[in-house]
Amino acid sequence: MKTTKAVAKLVLLLFLFVIAHSVRAQVPAGVPQQNVAPPTPIITNESLPRGARLYVAPIQNGFETYIIAGIEKKKVPVVVVTDRDKADYELTGVSETDKAGWAKMLFFGSQQTNETASIKVVNLTTSNVVFAYSVNKMNSVRGKQSAGEAVAKHINEKIENRYH
Amino acid sequence: MKGLFSMVVMVSLFAAPVLSEETATKMIPAGSRVFIAPMEDGFHEYLKAAFQAKQVPLTIVDDNKTAEFEISGHSETQKASTAKKVFLWDWRSNEQASIRVTNVKTSEVVFAYAVNKVSSAHGKKSTAEACAKHVKEKIESRR
């Protein structure tokens, strides 16, 4: 009986030793744990001020010009610049267009496109993302123009602090 | 009362030049020299023709170094597919275009416009003329 208990203790100790060794092996040697930087916030609550100088980076299929046109139409209070060095903020994003297929034309009589776009606005001084937004328009009435105006509308809401 | 009046006068005296400067930077004065940058499918050529047709009061130059403003943009044509021709009996293309006018000196975008025409009556010509019409309106608004 005593022998069984001793063997059980030995097995337990051996098991703990193996676990401890494997954990130590996973930590790279020579890298002190204190050097691991605390996670920085990716999206901040920082506001987007009126009159900010915004650079709109090129996006696929020239979507950046539709965003700029949307900013103009929705009277968003920012100054759009074409030189990144003169900007306070940068807008980048992606855009995709899905054209109407023959089935959509035959069964729904619709030739409108589906539009998807996603953007983010980065503060160039702090590199913080101050705003991000994505839009998906099924049967977009005015194609990229509609998506561009939706983006502009939400940037305006962000500036006016009406964004949820 | 006098103090308040003098304060209002002082504020208006200082604010007026700032405001006028702000509106001035967003203005496209008539007769400005404009360079139209090359665009997809030669849309810039249609734009030049449209400026002519709509009598837009701008001078178009071929050298961007001598220009005060630059027009750049994007144009896309979706030709009528067989399905559209067969099922909708429609041969016309769908057109969309977007332009922006940039002040070369300040790099600020002073005007931008986007147009989308489903079954465009005259293809690219229609979208280019829509752009030209709105540029002309911008010049005439003097804002």
Asked whether the ipTM of the predicted complex exceeds the cut of 0.85, the reply is no
**B74 and A82 in contact by Cβ < 8 A?**
no
3-state SS assignment for residue A45 = coil
**Partner-chain residue, chosen from A61, A65, A142, that has the shortest CB–CB distance to B112:** A65
**Strands A79-81 and B94-103, how do they pair?**
unpaired
Residues A65 and A12 both lie in one domain: no
Distance CA B93, CA B142 (A): 35
**What is the residue-wise DSSP string for B3-60?**
HHHHHHHHHHHHHHHHHHHHHHHT---TT-EEEE---GGGHHHHHHHHHHHTT-S-EE
Q: A with B: how many residue pairs have Cβ under 8 Å apart?
A: 92
Residues A61 and A99 both lie in one domain: yes
**B114 and A70 in contact by Cβ < 8 A?**
yes
Residues A104 and A61 both lie in one domain: yes
User: Which pLDDT belongs to residue B82?
Assistant: 85
**Residue pair B105/B130 in contact by the 8 Å Cβ criterion:** no
Residue A103 binned pLDDT confidence (cut-offs 50, 70, 90) = confident
Distance CA A64, CA A148 (A): 8
User: Which pLDDT belongs to residue B68?
Assistant: 95
**Chain A residue whose CA is closest to B97:** A66
**Partner-chain residue, chosen from A72, A79, A143, that has the shortest CB–CB distance to B96:** A143
B95 falls within a domain: yes
Q: What is the pLDDT of residues B83-137, one digit of tens each?
A: 888 887 888 889 999 999 999 999 999 999 999 998 888 899 999 999 999 999 9
The total number of structural domains that make up chain A: 2
The whole-model pTM stands at: 0.74
Residues A132 and A77 both lie in one domain: yes
B130 falls within a domain: yes
Q: Which chain B residues are closer than 8 Å to A73 by Cβ? A: 113-114
A46 falls within a domain: no
**A81 and B98 in contact by Cβ < 8 A?**
no
The total number of structural domains that make up chain B: 1
Of residues A90, A100, A41, the one with CA closest to residue B80: A100
Q: Encode burial over A77-108: b for 16+ CB neighbours within 10 A, e otherwise.
A: ebbbbbeeeebbbbbbbebebeebeeebbeee
Q: What is the pLDDT of residues A81-95, one digit of tens each?
A: 999 999 999 999 999
Q: Which chain A residues are closer than 8 Å to B40 by Cβ? A: 62
Q: What is the CATH number of the domain that holds B31?
A: 3.40.50.10610
**Chain A residue whose CA is closest to B86:** A106
Return the residue in A59, A66, A95 with the most chain B beta carbons within 10 A, the one to mutate for interface testing.
Answer: A66
Q: Which chain B residues are closer than 8 Å to A109 by Cβ? A: 87-88
> Between vectors from CA B82 to CA B77 and to CA B88, what angle results, nearest 5°?
90
Residue A28 binned pLDDT confidence (cut-offs 50, 70, 90) = very low
Residue B2 binned pLDDT confidence (cut-offs 50, 70, 90) = low
Q: Which residue has the higher pLDDT, B96 or A17?
A: B96
Query: Could you list the residue range(s) of the whole structural domain that residue A24 is in?
Result: 2-35
**Partner-chain residue, chosen from B73, B87, B94, that has the shortest CB–CB distance to A106:** B87
Residues A101 and A66 both lie in one domain: yes
Ranges of H-type helices in A27-128: 63-73, 102-108
Q: DSSP character for A62?
A: G
B16 touches chain A (CB under 8 A): no
B107 touches chain A (CB under 8 A): yes
Q: Which chain A residues are closer than 8 Å to B74 by Cβ? A: 61-63, 65-66
Q: Which residue has the higher pLDDT, B4 or B87?
A: B87
**B83 and A148 in contact by Cβ < 8 A?**
no
Of residues B143, B61, B67, B82, the one with CA closest to residue B110: B143
Query: Could you list the residue range(s) of the whole structural domain that residue B102 is in?
Result: 27-141
User: Phi and psi dihedrals of A87, rounded to 5?
Assistant: -100, 155
Of residues B32, B38, B47, B23, the one with CA closest to residue B115: B47
Q: What is the pLDDT of residues B42-66, one digit of tens each?
A: 999 999 999 999 999 999 999 889 9
A99 falls within a domain: yes
B93 touches chain A (CB under 8 A): no
